[in-house]
Amino acid sequence: MASTLAKRLTATFVAAAVPNVLIGSLVDVEVWKAAVMAGAVAVLGVAQSLAVAYKDGKLTAAEVDQAFNK
């Protein structure tokens, strides 16, 4: 499950970062900074959802899916 989580978090980061490359260049923010900020915010949102779901000490596949589908 850890490998799957890592891959999904990476995909979340990339999916959030790529659209912000254009926006960053339009508003004169360094492209890498815009991408890193957007990706980090997306990953941290998922991590927060996973932490809330882990309060009982277990993560089910449904809880993981729900965290990524918000």
Domain that holds residue 47: 2-68
Question: What pLDDT shows up at residue 62?
Answer: 94
Q: How many CA atoms lie within 13 A of 70 on its CB side?
A: 14
pLDDT in tens, the chain (70 residues): 788 999 999 999 999 998 888 888 888 889 889 999 999 999 999 999 999 999 999 999 999 999 999 7
Question: What pLDDT shows up at residue 20?
Answer: 86
- DSSP characters over 31-63: HHHHHHHHHHHHHHHHHHHHHHHGGGS---HHH
Q: What is the pLDDT of residues 41-61, one digit of tens each?
A: 999 999 999 999 999 999 999
Note the residue count of the chain: 70
Question: What pLDDT shows up at residue 70?
Answer: 78
Domain count, the chain: 1
